[in-house]
Amino acid sequence: MLLLSACGAREVVVQGNFPKPLMDPLPLTLGVIYTDEFAQHEIFDEAAGRAESDWLVKTGDAQVEFWNTLLNGMFQEVVQIKDSQTLEAYKNTVDAVIIPAVADLQYTIPLHTNIKIYEIWMKYRFKMVSLEDVHGNENGDLSIKPDQYFADWTLTAYGKTPTAFLQSDEEAVNLAAVVALRDAGANFATSFSRVPDIAAWMAEGLQPPPAEATDIQRLEND
């Protein structure tokens, strides 16, 4: 973590160990799109006073690493759709595309105490769309028709530093973030097939319902 106040600057680039889930993979080939906002996600919290410090917590790399690991353990095959070229390469093999986004992230820090117990709350929003509704632009960027998503749901996660006996505040925040990611993964793995739109999609032979929107917009978090 990067402290940007008079006390100096602290920066934490979240890192952790993320094992694959112990489960039988679902027989699906899933595409995943990580938007720039997701892959470069960070949270900055400005200090409230001179005795405190600004915090910059970068979760983007850990987010991508974690969700790649989780999804590859949950599904028969996972391919990352990065641009028009990869979109074209997998157009005949992908059952659907998932697009994760961090909708909210909050944390609490222990002020004026030596007990390094930190808490992090995360809220994700997931959307799924048929691959045929993802389009490549001439510059390589990806676009998607508004309201073409056949599934749209949220998921929450919580992480708490499991011990106060760590060497630094940075370690405590990092560990809380890793615990939150693992909690998100456990929630996702156990609830994915029970999301009503997902359950209906799987029951109907993986054919998403038709959508009526015709306009195309650039793919981005909303």
Task: Work out the percent of the chain whose per-residue pLDDT is above 70.
Answer: 83
CA distance readout (Å), 21 to 67, 88, 183:
11, 30, 12
Strand duo 10-13 + 55-58: pairing: parallel
**What is the rounded average pLDDT of the residues 77-98?**
90
pLDDT for res 211: 44
Which structure tokens are listed for 98? 């998932």
In the predicted model, what is the mean pLDDT of the chain? 82
Q: What is the pLDDT of residues 112-164, one digit of tens each?
A: 556 778 889 999 999 999 988 888 877 778 888 767 899 999 999 999 987 77
pLDDT for res 19: 87
Helix (H) or strand (E) holding 217: strand 217-218
pLDDT for res 20: 87
Residue 67 has pLDDT above 60, yes or no: yes
Q: In 46-194, which ranges are E strands?
A: 55-58, 75-80, 96-108, 119-129, 134-136, 142-144, 151-160
CB count within 10 Å of CB 60 equals: 18
pLDDT for res 48: 67
Sketch out the chain's domains with CATH numbers: 10-15+22-217 (3.30.160.150)
pLDDT for res 206: 60
Q: How confident is the model at residue 205 (pLDDT cuts 50, 70, 90)?
A: low
SS3 at position 140: coil
In angstroms and rounded to an integer, the radius of gyration of the C-alpha atoms of the chain is: 19
**What is the rounded average pLDDT of the residues 31-44?**
92
Task: Work out the percent of the chain whose per-residue pLDDT is above 90.
Answer: 48
pLDDT for res 209: 46
Taking the C-alpha atoms of residue 73 and residue 42, their distance in angstroms, rounded to an integer, is: 26
Q: Is there a contact between 92 and 103 (Cβ–Cβ < 8 Å)?
A: no
Residue 210 has pLDDT above 50, yes or no: no
Place of tokens 């106060």: 164
pLDDT for res 41: 93
pLDDT for res 9: 66
Cα–Cα nearest to 52, from 10, 6, 108, 13: 6
Query: Lowest mean pLDDT: which of 14-18, 132-136, 147-151, 213-217?
Result: 213-217
